[in-house]
Chains A and B, each alone.
Chain A
Amino acid sequence: MIRRYSCWIRSLLMGLGLFCALPIQAIAVGHSNSCYATGLSDRLQCGSVEVAENPAKPDGRKIAIHYVVIPAIKNLAPQEAVLGIAGGPGQSAIENAAGFERMLHKVRQHRDILLIDQRGTGQSNALNCDSEDLTAMLAHNDEAMDIAADVRKCKKQLEQHADISQYGSEQALADFEAVRRHLGYQKLHIYGVSYGTRMAQLYMRHYPQAIATVTLDGVVPMQQSVLAIGGAIARAQTLVISDCEKDPLCGKAFPKLREELDTLSDTLQQYPVMEKIHHPVTGETALLTFTRDKLQGALRLAMYSPSIRALIPFAVHQAYRKNYQPILGLLSLQSGSLDLAMGMHAAVVCGEDWPRLTAAQRQDAEKSVIGKVMLKGIDESCPIWQIPPALKNFSAPIASSIPTLLLSGEKDPATPPAWAEMAAVKLTNAKHLISPYATHNVAAQSCAGDLIAELVEKASVKQIDGKCLNKDVRRSFYLNASTVEAIGEDKQ
C-alpha cells in the first residue's frame, strides 16, 4: 500500500488546480460514443484506440487508450484540434475535462479540444496503487513508515495487468499520435501543463509535422530532472514569507513568521505532536500525528493555489502557537484532490528522472527538507520498480521553430520561471511570459487562456502581448480564520 501522504510528498509536479481535479470517470452512454465528464454538462464524443502495450511485441497485450473530444462551439478548423495534456505524472486528462474546458474556453469557440488519458492513467489501463484514507493518513507517523514494502506490494498487484516498464513518456507519445491519426486531425495545437509540457516537447521532437502551435504551461525542460524540484519548493516558500513581510497587514499580523516556521519545523522533527482532533470530514474523534514532513507537505500543497496560499502565514502562526486546526484543514485537502496513478508516476520518474541525477543535483536536493524526503523516497522505491533508464539523448533540449508559448508563474512551487528559460534555449520561434501573481498552471489563474486562443488563431507568437498578465490579481493573506481585510478599526 502506497500511503497517500507519501504520494503527495513524492508526487512531483501535479498540474491542474486542486479544485478542478475532482476524480469521477467520464461515463460512457450506451452504444453511442457520446458521453459526459464531471463538471461539464456538454455532450462529448468518446472513444478509444487499441494499441500494443509493448510496441516491440505487436502481438502481445493490448491496451485501450481512451480519449474524449470536447466539440468546438462553431468549428472553423475541423481538421485541427487542441490537445490538452495533463500533469502529474499520473493525472487523467479526461477526469480534468472541466478544468481544461475552463482554461481553453476561448480556443474551444472554433476548435475541438482533444483529451487523451495517457497510458497508465484514468481509463487507459490505470496503474493505481491502493491509498490510505484520510483517517489513517492523519494518524500515522509518515517519517517512520516502510516505503519499500508498499512499493513491492503495489508492483505485484500492477504486474497482473501491466508491464510497468512500458509506461514511459515516449511509449505514451506514440499512443497520442495513434489517436490523432484515428480521429483524422491533420494538425494539433498542443497545450501541456506541468509534466504535460514534457509530453508536448517530446511531441515537438518526434512528430513536428503534426503540430501547428505549442503552449507549455509550468515548464519542465527536457534537460531538467523533475527531482530537482526541492529548490523550486524552497524558493516558493521563501516567496510566501517575503510576500507576507512586504504586505503591511500580513507583516503586522505575523511579524516573526520566518522564525516561527523554522522553529516549528525543527521542533516537529524532534517531537512529532500527537493530538486528539475532530476528523476534518466526519467530525468524529480522530488522532493526528503531526510531523515535520506533514507540515512541509501541507504547505507545499497549499502553495499550488493562490487562494489557499493566502492561508499559509496564519496556519503557520497558529501551529507555532500549538493550534493545529488550520494545518489540519490544509492536510485534509489532499484526500481526493490528487488521485495520481502512482504506478505510471513511477514508470516515468524512475525511468526518465532518477537515473540521470548527478551528484551535484543530489547535494542540491539535500539542502531543503522536502528535497531530502523526496530523494530518500525515490532512492528506496525506484530500485524496486526496475524501470529501464531513458536514452541519453532524452534530455537534450528541443530545437524547433514551431510557434511556442511558454507560461510561468512567479510563485510556482514546482516549475519556476528559470525552467522555462532553460526549455527555450533552442526554440527559435518562442515567447516566454511570466505571470507575476500566478502559481502553478498559469492558464487556470490568469488571462493566459485568451493568449493561447490568440496563438492558436494566428499560429504565431509575434503579436502576443502578455500585458494582461500584469494586472494586479494578488490575493490578500488571511489575518485571522475569517478575513483578509484590515481588522483594526473595530471600535465603533
Chain B
Amino acid sequence: MMAKVFTLLRKELVDASRDKRSVLAGLYYAIGTPLLMCGLFIVLINQLSSPEDLPVKMINADKAPDLVRYLGQQGINSGSGEKADKLVLQISSDYPQKMARGESAEVTVIADNSDEKMQDSIRRLQKALQAYSAEMGSLRLIARGIDPRVLQPLKVEMHDQATPDSKGGMILGIALFTMLYSVFISGMNLAIDTSAGERERNSLGLLLSHPVTTGQLVISKLLAVTAFAMLGLILILLISHFAYPLVPWAELGFSISISPQFMLLMLVVGLPVAMLAASLQLFVSFMAKTFKEAQSYLTMVMFIPLALAMSASYNIAPEVLKWLPVSGQQQALMEVIKGKTLPWMELAIASGLTLLIAAILATALARMLRSEKVVFGL
C-alpha cells in the first residue's frame, strides 16, 4: 500500500518537475514577495521620517531670534526653496511686544496635514515649539519667584509593555501573513495541473485503470502538492531571513528579524496549513471541468484563507479567530515573534481543526473520484 503511494508520489513529482515554468511560477511568489515588501518599506520609511535637517520657511524670523536658534538646535532650520515652502512658521509681527508684556505671542504653523510625507515633520516642529514654550514658561515662573514644578500637578509616567519586536506588530503581521500565505500560492499551480490538468490530458482515467485505490491516488497528490507548498515556505523564510534585516526598521523604533528558531517553528506550524491548502486546492480543482475553470474557482476560494490571515494580523480581530485554521496559526506566530509565550492551547486546536478539515476534504475527494462523472469530467 505504502509502496504504491510512493510510486504515485514519484510520478507526481516527476510530472511536476517536467513543467518547470509552471513550477517556478508558483515559487515566484515566495521569492518575490519578501524582496518587494522590503523594497517598499525602505522607500516608505525614507519618505515618512522627518529629515535630520528640516528646512522650514520662517516668516518674521528676525522678531524671534532666540526661538529661531532654539529650533536650529533641534535641526529645524530657517530655509527657502520648494522644500521649505511645505512647512511654514509664521511668527506674528507683534511677537516681541507680546513677549515683553508676559503675554502669549502667536506663532502659526502653516502646512498640509494630509500630506503623509510631512506629518512627521509637522509633529516635530509642533513638539519643538511646545518645548520652547514650556521652557520659557518655566523661566517666567522662576523670574517671579515660583518653582515651575507647581505647573505640573500630575507627573504622568508611561510604562510601555511593548518589546522592540512587538512594536512592529502591524508590519510583522503583514510579513507573517505573506509567509503563511505562501503555502497556498506555491502549490496551487501543481494542484491544478495534477487534477484538472491531468483530466484534460486524459491521463487520469489511465492512471485509475491501474490497480490503485482512489485513496492512494489522493494521498500521493496531496503529498506532492504539500511538498511544493512547504518548499515555497522554506524559500520565503530563507529570503525573509536575509531581506528583512536590510530595512532600516530602527528609524521606526523597532526591529524585525527572522531567527533560525522562528523559521523552524514556522515550518512545523505551517505543515498542517500546507496540507489544508493542498487538499482544498485539489478538491476545488477536481470539481472544475477544465484547467481554466479550476484557476478561476481557486482564485475565489483562496480568498478565504487570505481573509482569515489578514484579519488575524490586526489587533481588533475577534477572539474566535484564535481557534480557527490559518488565523489561529497566524496569531500564535505573532505572539511568539512579539516575545510572548506560544499559546499552545489555541495553536493545538487550530492545528487540529486544520488537519481535520484537510482529512475531510481528502476523504470526500477520494470518494468523488470513484464516480466516472468526475473522472472524465462529464
Query: Closest chain A residue to B101 by CB distance?
Result: A482
- Determine whether B159 belongs to the interface, using a CB cutoff of 8 Å to chain A: yes
Contact with A along B220-260 (1 / 0, CB 8 A): 00000000000000000000000000000110011100000
B-side interface mostly:
helix
Cβ contact within 8 Å between A487 and B96: yes
CB proximity to B under 8 Å, residues A458-483: 471-476, 478-483
Q: Bound complex: CA of A333 vs CA of B254, how far in Å?
A: 37
- B89 → chain A closest CB, angstroms: 15
Q: Bound complex: CA of A283 vs CA of B151, how far in Å?
A: 13
- Determine whether A152 belongs to the interface, using a CB cutoff of 8 Å to chain B: no
- Determine whether B135 belongs to the interface, using a CB cutoff of 8 Å to chain A: yes
Inter-chain contacts of A381 with B (CB < 8 A) = none
Q: Bound complex: CA of A335 vs CA of B150, how far in Å?
A: 13
- Determine whether B7 belongs to the interface, using a CB cutoff of 8 Å to chain A: no
- A292 → chain B closest CB, angstroms: 19
- Determine whether B158 belongs to the interface, using a CB cutoff of 8 Å to chain A: yes
Contact with A along B123-155 (1 / 0, CB 8 A): 000000000000110011111111101100000
CB proximity to A under 8 Å, residues B60-89: 63-66, 69-70, 72-73
- Determine whether B95 belongs to the interface, using a CB cutoff of 8 Å to chain A: yes
Inter-chain contacts of B371 with A (CB < 8 A) = none
Cβ contact within 8 Å between B70 and A329: no
Cβ contact within 8 Å between B96 and A280: no
Contact of A43 among B69, B100, B145, B160 (CB under 8 A): B160
Cβ contact within 8 Å between B139 and A307: yes
- Determine whether B102 belongs to the interface, using a CB cutoff of 8 Å to chain A: yes
Cβ contact within 8 Å between B149 and A311: no
Q: Bound complex: CA of A313 vs CA of B92, how far in Å?
A: 27
- Determine whether B163 belongs to the interface, using a CB cutoff of 8 Å to chain A: yes
- Determine whether A310 belongs to the interface, using a CB cutoff of 8 Å to chain B: yes
Q: Bound complex: CA of A476 vs CA of B196, how far in Å?
A: 81
Q: Bound complex: CA of A213 vs CA of B73, how far in Å?
A: 26
Q: Bound complex: CA of A195 vs CA of B263, how far in Å?
A: 48
- A456 → chain B closest CB, angstroms: 15
Cβ contact within 8 Å between B69 and A474: yes
Cβ contact within 8 Å between B65 and A485: yes
- Determine whether B205 belongs to the interface, using a CB cutoff of 8 Å to chain A: no
Cβ contact within 8 Å between A473 and B143: no
Q: Bound complex: CA of A41 vs CA of B66, how far in Å?
A: 31
Q: Bound complex: CA of A478 vs CA of B146, how far in Å?
A: 16
Query: Closest chain B residue to A490 by CB distance?
Result: B97
Cβ contact within 8 Å between B147 and A333: yes
Contact of A336 among B102, B149, B150, B160 (CB under 8 A): B149
- Determine whether A110 belongs to the interface, using a CB cutoff of 8 Å to chain B: yes
Given A485-B96, A485-B99, A485-B100, the answer on whether A278 and B139 have CB atoms closer than 8 Å is no
- Determine whether B209 belongs to the interface, using a CB cutoff of 8 Å to chain A: no
Query: Closest chain B residue to A488 by CB distance?
Result: B96
- Determine whether A36 belongs to the interface, using a CB cutoff of 8 Å to chain B: yes
- B265 → chain A closest CB, angstroms: 21
Q: Bound complex: CA of A446 vs CA of B73, how far in Å?
A: 7
- Determine whether A324 belongs to the interface, using a CB cutoff of 8 Å to chain B: yes
CB proximity to B under 8 Å, residues A257-282: 277-278, 280-281
Indicate the size class of the contact surface on chain B: 35 or more
Query: Closest chain B residue to A484 by CB distance?
Result: B66
Q: Bound complex: CA of A489 vs CA of B63, how far in Å?
A: 11
Cβ contact within 8 Å between B69 and A71: no
Cβ contact within 8 Å between B164 and A475: no
- Determine whether A418 belongs to the interface, using a CB cutoff of 8 Å to chain B: no
Contact of A311 among B66, B139, B253 (CB under 8 A): B139
CB proximity to B under 8 Å, residues A24-46: 36, 38-39, 41-43
Query: Closest chain B residue to A483 by CB distance?
Result: B99
- Determine whether A73 belongs to the interface, using a CB cutoff of 8 Å to chain B: yes
Inter-chain contacts of B160 with A (CB < 8 A) = 41-43
- Determine whether B372 belongs to the interface, using a CB cutoff of 8 Å to chain A: no
- Determine whether B341 belongs to the interface, using a CB cutoff of 8 Å to chain A: no
Contact of A326 among B70, B143, B147 (CB under 8 A): B143
Q: Bound complex: CA of A278 vs CA of B150, how far in Å?
A: 13
- B205 → chain A closest CB, angstroms: 58
Cβ contact within 8 Å between A485 and B63: yes
- A132 → chain B closest CB, angstroms: 16
Cβ contact within 8 Å between B143 and A481: yes
Cβ contact within 8 Å between B72 and A481: no
Query: Closest chain A residue to B93 by CB distance?
Result: A492
Contact with A along B152-185 (1 / 0, CB 8 A): 0000011111111000000000000000000000
**Which A positions have Cβ atoms within 8 angstroms of B?**
36, 38-39, 41-43, 71-75, 109-110, 277-278, 280-281, 283, 307-308, 310-311, 314-315, 324-326, 328-330, 332-333, 335-336, 446, 471-476, 478-487, 489-490, 492
Besides A43-B159, A277-B145, A475-B66, 18 new A-B residue pairs in contact (Cβ under 8 A), listed by A number: A41-B157, A43-B162, A73-B254, A280-B147, A308-B142, A315-B143, A326-B143, A329-B145, A333-B147, A472-B69, A473-B72, A473-B73, A478-B143, A481-B140, A482-B140, A483-B102, A484-B66, A486-B96
**Which B positions have Cβ atoms within 8 angstroms of A?**
63-66, 69-70, 72-73, 94-97, 99-102, 135-136, 139-147, 149-150, 157-164, 249-250, 253-255
What are 15 A-B residue pairs whose CB atoms fall within 8 Å in the complex?
A41-B157, A43-B163, A74-B249, A280-B147, A283-B146, A315-B143, A326-B143, A328-B145, A332-B142, A332-B145, A332-B147, A336-B149, A474-B69, A485-B99, A490-B100
